[in-house]
Structure 1
Amino acid sequence: MTRPAEIEVLRAGALTTVQDLGRPGWAHLGVPRSGALDPTALRLANRLVGNPEQAAGLEITLTGCTLRLTQAATVAITGAEVAVRAGDRPGDTGRPLTVPAGTVLRVGPARRGVRSWLAVAGGIDVSPVLGSRATDTLAGLGPPVLRDGDRLPLGVPLAQPAPVDVTVGPPPASELRLTVRLGPRDDWFTPGALDLLFGTAYTVSPVSNRVGARLAGAALPRAVAGELPSEGIVLGAVQVPADGQPLIFLADHPTTGGYPVIGVVTDVTPLAQARPGTTVRFHGPQR
């Protein structure tokens, strides 16, 4: 009997997870959406190998990973600038790559950016949880973070790879400009805090992760003292803990929080490739 196609994880790297487009619609049960930090990059990788855009792939963080495919398959890698090798043969990001059975596929460390997304024809066929195969690193839903020696089943390819030579994504920016809509708790902060938020630069902290991007810079002074009862948190919420340093919530954010949210970033995708030390500036409506 023919064994099902699998990916064997030889080296998992710093943080490699299974991700798809997430599990929306469960916030009322305390379950965030999760999913790829850059959904556009995952969609592109899936299109390149002929998968539906919602197929599960791998999100690979910073240090790369090493894999072996038990059967021949087409893969594609998007996102960060990395070196790719299938056995002794170099590959390119942003284009389909045919990998023979048993070949070792190496995704090197990110030279620019932080994260890469790897799609395999047929998709990663782990069991879905609440309609998604995404790993939620905060809630613990979905498959666990990958470890050396793990084996992941692959689905059956549904279409031919895309007939393209190469696709080129935007390079990671050295400075991010993020649009913020104020509220719901901007009135808990002084006017001076809003001047600092929109008028000074912050940097991405090394302790950032899939839950949130922690920033370092000018502390935002409060106008209202005391505690805030826990309330709903959405993707992109800019929460301000007691130390006054903003925290931007990302894909694996909690669904409630007790610190005031001064505003919400309208698009957090650029933070997927923001290395520690990257400059972040906020802009928003006239005040």
Structure 2
Amino acid sequence: MNAVVVEAVGPLALIEDLGRPGHASVGVTGSGAADRRALRLANRLLGNAEGAAGVEVLLGGLAVRADGDVRVCVTGAPAPVLVDGRAAPLGAPLELRDGQLLTLGVPSTGLRTYLAVRGGLAEPLVLGSASTDPTMGVGPEPLAPGRRLALGRPPDREPAPAVDVAALEPPPVTDVALRVVLGPRDDWFAPSAVDALTSQPWTVTTESDRVGVRLAGPALDRADIGTARELPSEAVVRGAVQVPHSGQPLIFLADHPTTGGYPVVAVVVDDDTDVLAQLRPGERVRFRRVPRGW
């Protein structure tokens, strides 16, 4: 069976699909691709199911060699793509012949690049998903040199799409607008803090990862500052804007915990959380309030 063999990895390369939702009640987060939109696009360009497993690559450095003829596609953060040392396009199906080497450089903007293969990666499923959650140790191990990745079977009677290249919009780099719905615990904060959340920019810090994006800005004061009131742990979701005692917001991403004991002042609209996955430290975001049920 055809496969790709990992020759090198950069800071981190993980196998991800669209995750394992529905298990929060037993403490298992959804995980999955941090930028789901990029993975979906790569799979569509190859004629795969949208949720087929691919490789999420943090800041480039991945090199894979084709074992047999393989069709691949690269999307997400715009990293230089080389096939046997020659430049190849992003957002386009690529034919790798047996023995050819594909390498990904460091992206010019954004953090995470996605490599999909025709048929998807044939990885064992854990609770219905092949996704890696490195925080909980669920799913496949992070990739390392020498790992052989078997390919799944392409969809029956589904020819590969005849696409030359898809226009890719580069990840935004500053003053990114994120839509948020206030609550469920905005009443725990002073009115001035709620106003500050949506009236000024916030800077992404280095303490950001697949669990969440930490932001720096003016502290969001609680309405009952100076009291000992605490919040019992309650369920949290991807996009929840949680505010610990420091007053500095944290927006949960793919590997977020299933419960949290700090108040959630707002929740980012789900579609906008894919943008968060590409933000680098030092870049800025703004929150734009939208009504509940928007």
* TM-score, normalization by structure 2: 0.92
How far the C-alpha of 1:175 sits from its partner, in A, is: 2.0
Map of 1:85-100 to 2, 5 A cutoff?
Answer: 85-100=82-97
Unaligned ranges ≥5, structure 1: none
2:50 pairs with 1:45: no
Alignment match, 1:223: 223
Distance of 1:261 and 1:125 partners within structure 2: 38
Alignment match, 2:13: 16
Alignment match, 1:57: 54
The one of 228, 238, 241 equivalent to 2:241 is 238
How far the C-alpha of 1:50 sits from its partner, in A, is: 2.1
Alignment match, 1:211: 211
- Residue identity in the other structure for 1:170: E
Distance of 2:108 and 2:183 partners within structure 1: 37
**What SS is found at the alignment partner of 2:110?**
strand
Q: Can you list the C-alpha shifts for 1:191-249, whole angstroms capped at 9, x where unaligned?
A: 11112111121111112111100111111111234321110011100000111100000
How far the C-alpha of 1:146 sits from its partner, in A, is: 1.4
The one of 16, 28, 31 equivalent to 1:31 is 28
The one of 283, 287, 293 equivalent to 1:278 is 283
* Contact 2:77–2:108 under 8 Å retained in 1: yes
How far the C-alpha of 1:285 sits from its partner, in A, is: 4.6
Alignment match, 1:172: 171
Q: Can you list the C-alpha shifts for 1:119-171, whole angstroms capped at 9, x where unaligned?
A: 11121111010000011122221101112222222113334332111101222
Instruction: Point out the more displaced range, 119-128 or 31-40.
Output: 31-40
Alignment match, 1:251: 254
Distance of 1:282 and 1:229 partners within structure 2: 26
Distance of 1:117 and 1:200 partners within structure 2: 32
* Contact 1:47–1:161 under 8 Å retained in 2: no
- Residue identity in the other structure for 1:279: R
Distance of 1:38 and 1:211 partners within structure 2: 13
Distance of 1:95 and 1:161 partners within structure 2: 12
Distance of 1:235 and 1:5 partners within structure 2: 35
Alignment match, 2:68: 71
CA 1:190–1:69: 2 relative to 1, 3 Å: same
2:157 pairs with 1:162: no
How far the C-alpha of 1:6 sits from its partner, in A, is: 2.4
- Residue identity in the other structure for 2:262: Y
**What SS is found at the alignment partner of 1:273?**
coil
How far the C-alpha of 1:47 sits from its partner, in A, is: 1.6
Distance of 1:59 and 1:278 partners within structure 2: 21
**What SS is found at the alignment partner of 1:111?**
coil
Percent identical among aligned pairs is 51
- Residue identity in the other structure for 1:20: D
Aligned length: 283
* TM-score, normalization by structure 1: 0.94
Alignment match, 2:124: 127
**What SS is found at the alignment partner of 1:113?**
coil
